[in-house]
Amino acid sequence: MAEKKAQKEEEEKAKEKRKEERIQKRKHRDEQKQRKKAELDAKRRKKADERHRKREMRERLLQTLEDSDGGSEDEIQVSVNNCYQCEKPYTSDFIECSNCSRRFHITCISDDYMGNVDGLEFECKFC
């Protein structure tokens, strides 16, 4: 009888121990999960930071470009590859002013310079 009781106690203890282990294991797992989540969060934050920094850099660059664009107000702001008349890019059908090297679509200036377009000399409306 006493032996049986002792055995039962032993079993109870073993059960208790397994339970304890299970709890510990679960705790450990939860801790790992938490750590992983924290790592992920940190990574995500870092990425967002980088994106933010990149955007700021791009905006600063654009600002610098705008600032350096300069030029006085009444000067026409047309890029070198755009026709000075319609401000659209030209491809092959353009003519260059012999004085200032401004370029125009032939179609854009032909109304005013019909006679000269085919010749070598061309003087634009700015000259």
Among 86, 106, 110, 117, binds Zn ion (CB under 5 A): 86
Binding status of residue 82 toward Zn ion by CB under 5 A: no
Q: How far is the CB of 104 from Zn ion (least distance, A)?
A: 6
Binding status of residue 97 toward Zn ion by CB under 5 A: yes
41 alpha-carbon distance from chain centroid: 22
Structure tokens at 63: 């600002």
Binding status of residue 124 toward Zn ion by CB under 5 A: yes
Q: Which of 6-41 are b and which e, b meaning 16 or more Cβ less than 10 Å from the residue's Cβ? A: eeeeeeeeeeeeeeeeeeeeeeeeeeeeeeeeeeee
C-beta closer to Zn ion: residue 33 or 88: 88
Binding status of residue 103 toward Zn ion by CB under 5 A: no
